[in-house]
A and B are shown apart, each in its own frame.
Chain A
């Protein structure tokens, strides 16, 4: 089905147009949303926060973007039950807003890693992962310096207990606790993930394992009243 998506654009975002292409391919009507806007376009089903180096990664990755005018509206949108997807730097932004718990630290090996990783789908129970089956192994690129997910023991136990790990690395590339590559919010409508599914949606990308993520969003929206407003 057709759905309405907004893709945020910060100074230094560089995966915004790739993300728009992937969403359009899944049937989305996409609007690019500039960081200085204070309000999201009306009637969005999904807000997507792209990868890149928003504000040059100054202070901490995602820290400045998380305090941008538009981001306040995104937090309100999420709190109303809207779907929010943050990829790579977008995940870092979501962590900095507090919509998702924990922190993303420098990779354990200290190096920027650009590679195609095997991910294990840890749950199919979310609007983002319903196009997969739990246990599916998918190939998705990563490209980050600060993707080492950490959280305290209690938070980690809660994430595990509530089945909120969306994806894990088959082989941990960056030191993330429990090999976490992506996590869901408590209401399962906010997903943050370091890997780039928008870079795996066309045969020329070298793989199409990301297609089911964007298709899943469309499917979930068609099936349920997920609209956040």
Chain B
């Protein structure tokens, strides 16, 4: 079983990295890009078959370590 966690900045938190990427895309001619948010993806290989239980455990991992919930939000997907 695998869990995929996406960690991104909360709405309203300025993302200077995303802004730099947006400007760079603009300079490459992709003028339609209005806004860019950069985040990270974390893949976890898990033992066991209990998907609902895994979702709860991975959410705990996000709260305790994987995300800084002061500035970041996260999503968990079990696949």
**When the two chains form their complex, are residues A106 and B17 in contact, meaning their CB atoms are under 8 A apart?**
yes
From 68 to 91 in chain A, residues with beta carbon under 8 angstroms from any chain B beta carbon are none
**When the two chains form their complex, are residues A96 and B17 in contact, meaning their CB atoms are under 8 A apart?**
no
A108–B16 CA distance with the chains assembled, in angstroms? 6
A59 at the B interface (CB under 8 A): yes
- Nearest B residue to A108 by beta-carbon distance? B16
Q: Report the interface size for chain A: residues with CB under 8 A from the other chain.
A: 18
Interface SS of A by simple majority: loop
**When the two chains form their complex, are residues B16 and A103 in contact, meaning their CB atoms are under 8 A apart?**
no
B79 at the A interface (CB under 8 A): no
From 17 to 62 in chain A, residues with beta carbon under 8 angstroms from any chain B beta carbon are 59-60
Nearest CB on A from B8, distance (A): 13
**When the two chains form their complex, are residues A102 and B70 in contact, meaning their CB atoms are under 8 A apart?**
yes
A63 at the B interface (CB under 8 A): yes
15 CB < 8 A contacts A-B: A60-B68, A67-B65, A103-B68, A105-B13, A105-B14, A105-B16, A106-B16, A106-B17, A107-B16, A108-B14, A110-B17, A148-B16, A150-B13, A151-B70, A175-B16
Known: A103-B68, A175-B16. 15 other contacts (CB 8 A): A67-B65, A96-B68, A101-B70, A103-B70, A103-B71, A105-B13, A105-B16, A105-B71, A108-B14, A109-B16, A148-B16, A150-B13, A150-B14, A150-B71, A151-B70
Residues of B within 8 A of A (CB): 13-14, 16-17, 20, 64-66, 68, 70-71
Residues of A within 8 A of B (CB): 59-60, 63, 67, 96, 101-103, 105-110, 148, 150-151, 175
